[in-house]
Amino acid sequence: MVRASRLSVAATLALAGLGALLLGVSACGRRSGGPLPIALIGDRTALDVGCVRLSPAARTLRGATVEGLVAFDAEGHIVPALADRWIITDDGQSYIFRLREGTWPGGSRITGETAAAVLRTALAQLKGTPLGLDLAAIAQIRVMADRVIEIDLAGPVPDLLTLLAQPELGLPYARRGAGPMALGRRGASTELTMIPPEKRGLVPEEGFSGHVRPLVVDLLPAAKAVQRFNDGTADLVLGGRVDSFPLAQEAALARGNVQLDPVIGLFGLLVETENGFLAEAPNREALALAIDRDAIIAAFNIGGWQPTTRIVSAGVEGDAGTVGERWVGVAPEQRRALAAERVTRYMASGKPAPLLRIAAPGGPGTRRVIDRLATDFKAIGIVVVQVGEDTPADLRLLDATARYGRASWFLNQLACSVHKPACNIAGDQLLAQARQTADLRERARLLGEAEAEITAANPYIPIARPLRWSLVRAGVTGFAPNPWGWHPLPPMALLPK
């Protein structure tokens, strides 16, 4: 069995401060065997797990109810799901999966033909998304035997297992997921229960019901989720991000623990239009120059949370090291003066001072970020206003965790087929070449060149790595901080034996 690709040692050590952070005091866990009450930050739309463009909350629920070939355990390692074993050929360009004995919902046997058909459909639905680009090297899905399928690649995809474990690659049959959990109702709440092995076409397990517990999940706004934890009516809060982190800090002072995941990804401003001031790359760079990232980080008082001016997190696999942090050795006042000069030049022809709309989620954490950005941009002659997440805007606060720890994930988020405004054609072509290159050293070189080109175009203005938090009461089992910020529900339903 092959485990998921992990972050490099350098990247893991750099993030250790985040993972180790523990605030507040412990409280008693719920009695063993009773339902585990969970507050999941999100809204009722997360219950629609049938699509492939999922919200974070919907990904959590889909991951529990719609199995793929493989899955994640609590620590982010790859474990069997519909496939109970697999092998990878020496050249890394073919993955062969043996499917488990069992049935789809409704009683039909799980076969290579049915699994391959559903997987092809899932891949087709992901076209035009960053995840679709991550999987673009899949050339063919072949049925080799009754319960054996092979995925052939046009080039190596070292993180294919990690990608196949994503909830979007769950394989519903006849629009129904194969588990391992069933979704139902408990009053106004959502209840998830482990499906007995015999109902999945598997061998019955003696004492199964005594080794599992139901999960009672409520989809709530962040403030209500934290209140549930404070009231003692939830033992776990999942789905915390920067926008709601101040609420977690307040909760930790009362009772409970804040757990931070050592994630990487993108947290910054995504350019949404090439009109007006944002039409030229030097003007977009002026925004990047003006931001006081240290001040934004300081507003949250989190040890180990680091600012960055790079698109790609340093130290990940495929980072050739040719692109470093920008403007090293340049004093903040010099950077701000250069940015102000570009705004002045823009207005010299009679154009009004730039007014930029930033689309961002509500929440006290977002307010802290936007307030700091407003101060920084005002100093160079730019006014900003915050608008809702779904409102047309000039800039968008992007907050996304990496699905796997390689440079390609970061750059695929900014590919022209995914995000058109201010995309860089030269960088996009280099990125496409890298996807087709089998030699990993050459691929790293191409990715480094692509990052340099895309960075110069400034379609995205980095601020820091993302922040992911949970509230976890003492005694809760099945939860573990991990590099993906992903907390699967099935391990939480298993009772220690």
Predicted local confidence at residue 405, as pLDDT = 94
Q: Please tell me the predicted confidence (pLDDT) of residue 303.
A: 85
Q: What is the mean pLDDT of each run of 10 residues along the chain (497 residues)?
A: 36 37 39 83 75 85 96 95 95 95 91 96 93 95 97 92 96 90 92 94 88 96 94 94 92 68 97 96 98 96 92 90 93 96 95 96 97 98 96 97 96 95 96 89 94 97 96 93 94 90
Our CA angle for 51, 116, 408, nearest 5°, is 65
CATH of the structural domain 67-178, one choice from 3.90.226.10, 3.10.20.90, 1.10.3720.10, 3.90.76.10:
3.90.76.10
CA distance 282 to 342: 8
Write the CATH number of the domain with boundaries 265-464. 3.10.105.10
Looking at the domain 23-48+179-261+467-497, which fold is it?
D-Maltodextrin-Binding Protein; domain 2 (3.40.190)
pLDDT of residue 392: 95
> Crossing angle for the helix pair 281-290 and 440-457, nearest 10 degrees?
90
Say if residues 437 and 211 touch (Cβ distance below 8 Å). Answer: no
Q: What is the pLDDT of residue 252?
A: 55
Contacts of 164 (CB under 8 A, 6+ apart): 68, 69, 70
Q: What is the pLDDT of residue 54?
A: 86
Q: What is the pLDDT at residue 345?
A: 96
Question: pTM (2 decimals)?
Answer: 0.90
C-beta of residue 260 within 8 angstroms of C-beta of residue 18: yes
Whole-number pLDDT of residue 33: 59
Specify the domain boundaries for CATH 3.10.105.10 within the chain.
265-464
